[in-house]
Chains A and B, each alone.
Chain A
């Protein structure tokens, strides 16, 4: 079920996606590796989410290819690539059963699943809600559950697509806390956001995208102090970026 080779580095070459003649993603070269927490930042419609979904293997590019650990993405490797969607995607089961489902796919023996699932929920402060149907949790709790579920199978890399776009501040903090802990435990994090505050709080490294292109990629401190591109400068200054 699960291969032992790592999916890192995740590399993309010559990625090109367009719809109705409009360029959505045009990324000649993109490599995700190391342990830095990477934030993909940019205005709405910059192609951030689409790039992320392509790297995850959910979207097939029109041209170019994505490699996981030097090989083609495959179902056997899928669990090593964690994914947290912007709109929570959870099974119509309890919070606990959602985590157990992932553990089962990962080939965890059924005797160990229960304990592991409870432990994972407990670490995220969701133990009391373990048997509540996942769809009845609040938006913030659902996002935390998505992170817990993705992390329960110890992926090499965790992609998050605007995980706190519609969360209240407390939930945002809780999700960010979970992500930081995952990063500290050695999981590579790629976080897509258009929330500047979040990018400042979380990023080790910033990838700034605009109109389908990676305009700038730099260590966070340098990027926020002195962005090189005009688009990034305008974005950071709160102007409309066209």
Chain B
């Protein structure tokens, strides 16, 4: 018990002292996951909007596929991206393996289906609500998407935050394509795994705290957005 208390205090000391190593790891984690979310947003939001307002043969199958991809196991994504960027893979010449870029790609692959599926759901509901009045106004496809995205912006932000939560917390994909190299590709989750196995429990616990604070903050942000939505989204 005493040991645990000491460990706890050590980890708090690391946090309070803004330990250089710890700050570097947290910064890289945020950089990788935020970049992945930005890329996923750029792909997933328009894709979701397209799926929401268009009907084509195989439409239902595509939606089932996207929904299924939401549950992609991170290690499988890691493995697939590893195969793509390793020297023998089609993107081998780019020398991306064990770089933050590879980690961003892997997390983007993981998050894009989540953003796409959530955006599709949100915008489809909104389109059901807006459909007839926009048709009556003679609004075309582009105008329709713009109106839906604007009026659904709070819910879409929630989709992005859900994606970020997934990215920042996963370990399987980044450890395979990043390799957990100190000062290069070490992020919070991979560091926690490593430091725990090495017995450096204080640092692992400190990182765990940061990760949890971020997770709670993201959830709080999602809740706050949901709460403000009735007021501001309608205004």
Which of A's residues lie within 8 Å of B, judged by CB? 56-58, 74-79, 81, 83, 85, 89-94, 97, 101-102, 105, 131, 133-136
Residue in chain A with minimal CB distance to B139? A105
- Pick the residue among A77, A89, A97 that contacts B138 (CB under 8 A): A77
Contact A76 B136 (CB under 8 A): no
Residues of B with C-beta under 8 A to A97: 235
B137, B139, B147, B235 — most chain A CB neighbours (10 Å) = B137
Contact A105 B138 (CB under 8 A): yes
Q: Give Cα distance in the complex from A58 to B131, angstroms.
A: 10
Residues of B with C-beta under 8 A to A136: 234
Contact B137 A78 (CB under 8 A): yes
Q: Give Cα distance in the complex from A131 to B234, angstroms.
A: 10
Residues of B with C-beta under 8 A to A94: 234-235
By secondary structure, the B interface counts as: helix
Q: Give Cα distance in the complex from A74 to B140, angstroms.
A: 11
Q: Give Cα distance in the complex from A185 to B230, angstroms.
A: 37
- Pick the residue among A58, A93, A101, A135 that contacts B136 (CB under 8 A): A58
A131-B235, A133-B234 are known contacts. Are A91 and B151 too (CB-CB below 8 A)? yes
A76, A85, A92, A135 — most chain B CB neighbours (10 Å) = A92
Residues of B with C-beta under 8 A to A91: 130, 133, 147, 151
Q: Give Cα distance in the complex from A58 to B233, angstroms.
A: 27
Contact A78 B234 (CB under 8 A): no
Contact B235 A105 (CB under 8 A): no
Q: For the complex formed, measure the closest distance between the CB of B124 and the CB atoms of chain A, giving whole angstroms.
A: 15
Q: For the complex formed, measure the closest distance between the CB of A68 and the CB atoms of chain B, giving whole angstroms.
A: 12
A75-B140, A78-B138 are known contacts. Are A89 and B234 too (CB-CB below 8 A)? no
Q: Can you report 6 A-B residue pairs in the complex whose CB atoms are below 8 A from each other?
A: A85-B133, A89-B130, A91-B133, A93-B234, A94-B235, A97-B235
B130, B136, B139, B234 — most chain A CB neighbours (10 Å) = B136
Residues of A with C-beta under 8 A to B137: 78-79, 102, 105
B3 within 8 A of partner (CB): no
A89, A94, A102 — most chain B CB neighbours (10 Å) = A89
Residue in chain A with minimal CB distance to B137? A105
Contact A79 B138 (CB under 8 A): yes
Q: For the complex formed, measure the closest distance between the CB of A86 and the CB atoms of chain B, giving whole angstroms.
A: 11
- Size bin of chain B's contact surface: 10 to 19
Residue in chain B with minimal CB distance to A1? B138
B196 within 8 A of partner (CB): no
Residues of B with C-beta under 8 A to A76: 138
A78-B137, A102-B137, A105-B137 are known contacts. Are A93 and B132 too (CB-CB below 8 A)? no
B135 within 8 A of partner (CB): yes
Residues of B with C-beta under 8 A to A57: 135
Q: Give Cα distance in the complex from A76 to B139, angstroms.
A: 9
B183 within 8 A of partner (CB): no
Q: For the complex formed, measure the closest distance between the CB of B173 and the CB atoms of chain A, giving whole angstroms.
A: 37
Residues of A with C-beta under 8 A to B132: 58, 85, 89
B198 within 8 A of partner (CB): no
Contact B234 A92 (CB under 8 A): yes
Q: Which of B112-166 contact A (CB under 8 A)?
A: 129-130, 132-133, 135-140, 143, 147, 151
Residues of A with C-beta under 8 A to B130: 89, 91
Residues of B with C-beta under 8 A to A78: 135-138
Q: Which of B198-235 contact A (CB under 8 A)?
A: 230-231, 233-235
Residue in chain A with minimal CB distance to B234? A133
Residues of A with C-beta under 8 A to B147: 91, 101
A91-B151, A92-B151, A105-B139 are known contacts. Are A135 and B133 too (CB-CB below 8 A)? no
Other A-B contacts than A90-B133, A92-B151, 4 sampled, CB-CB below 8 A, are A94-B235, A97-B235, A105-B139, A136-B234
Q: Give Cα distance in the complex from A77 to B139, angstroms.
A: 11
Q: Give Cα distance in the complex from A89 to B134, angstroms.
A: 10
Q: For the complex formed, measure the closest distance between the CB of B43 and the CB atoms of chain A, giving whole angstroms.
A: 26
Q: Give Cα distance in the complex from A105 to B235, angstroms.
A: 19
Q: Give Cα distance in the complex from A81 to B133, angstroms.
A: 12
Residue in chain B with minimal CB distance to A89? B133
Q: Give Cα distance in the complex from A162 to B130, angstroms.
A: 19
Top 5 nearest A-B pairs by Cβ distance? A78-B138, A133-B234, A75-B138, A89-B133, A83-B136
Q: Give Cα distance in the complex from A7 to B129, angstroms.
A: 27
Residues of A with C-beta under 8 A to B235: 93-94, 97, 131, 133
Q: For the complex formed, measure the closest distance between the CB of A211 and the CB atoms of chain B, giving whole angstroms.
A: 25
